[in-house]
């Protein structure tokens, strides 16, 4: 019961912050609402019994990635979005598509065919860091090391981006 109350409370905050992020005209405020949204989602992960995923969500998404977002916003000096955009027709279209998505999802949930039973249930501490660490370093050691290569290219990408930028940068 307590979990249900917590869920509805958090779901309300999540939806509200997501809407606020889209609606607000100030890009910095948008980013801050997104931080709040990401934190709430992290709490959802906790409720689902995945503490490690929640931690990653906070550290990487709400932390580092949002810092990057804010840097870009400040760098471009684009914190205040102008009044209206030229793509007015997108608004009703986005509304219609969004409604279609919600309708489709509802339909799928309400009329789920019998064949779609849950595929087993995940082990309860699903994101148990120790278990993750063990799998990561034994079974999935190759993907793990490739992640390092992926991060390496990102670093080289930083070198490429930093190269030859004049005093004003670009």
What is the size of the binding site for other proteins (CB under 8 A)? 70
φ and ψ at residue 47, rounded to 5 degrees = -60, -30
The C-alpha atoms of residue 119 and residue 111 are separated, in whole angstroms, by 18
Q: What secondary structure letter does DSSP report for 88?
A: T
Instruction: Please identify which residue in 8, 90, 106, 134 interacts with other proteins, judged by CB under 8 A.
Output: 134
Residue span 20-59 as binding mask against other proteins, x where in contact by CB under 8 A, dash where not: --------------------------xx-x--x--xx--x
Report 141-170 residues binding other proteins (CB under 8 A): 141-165, 168-170
From residue 39, give the alpha-carbon distance in Å to each of 43, 54, 143.
6, 9, 27
Compute how many other C-beta atoms are within 10 angstroms of the C-beta atom of residue 81. Answer: 12
List contacts with other proteins (CB under 8 A): 2-3, 6, 46-47, 49, 52, 55-56, 59-60, 63-65, 67-68, 71-72, 74-77, 79-80, 113, 115-116, 119-120, 124-125, 129-134, 136-165, 168-170
């Amino acid at each position: 019961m307590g979990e249900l109350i917590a869920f509805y409370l958090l779901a309300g905050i999540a939806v509200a912050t997501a809407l606020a992020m889209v609606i607000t005209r100030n890009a910095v405020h948008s980013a801050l609402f997104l931080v709040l949204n990401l934190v709430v989602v992290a709490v959802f992960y906790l409720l689902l019994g995945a503490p490690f995923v929640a931690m990653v969500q906070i550290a990487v998404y709400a932390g580092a990635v949002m810092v990057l977002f804010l840097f870009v916003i400040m760098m471009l000096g684009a914190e205040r979005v102008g009044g209206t955009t030229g793509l007015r027709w997108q608004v009703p279209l986005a509304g219609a598509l969004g409604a279609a998505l919600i309708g489709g999802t509802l339909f799928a949930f309400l009329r789920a065919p019998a064949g779609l039973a849950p595929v087993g249930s995940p082990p309860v501490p699903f994101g148990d860091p120790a278990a993750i660490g063990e799998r990561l370093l034994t079974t999935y050691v190759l993907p793990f090391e490739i992640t390092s290569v992926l991060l390496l290219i990102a670093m080289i990408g930083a070198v490429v981006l930093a190269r030859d930028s004049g005093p004003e940068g670009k």
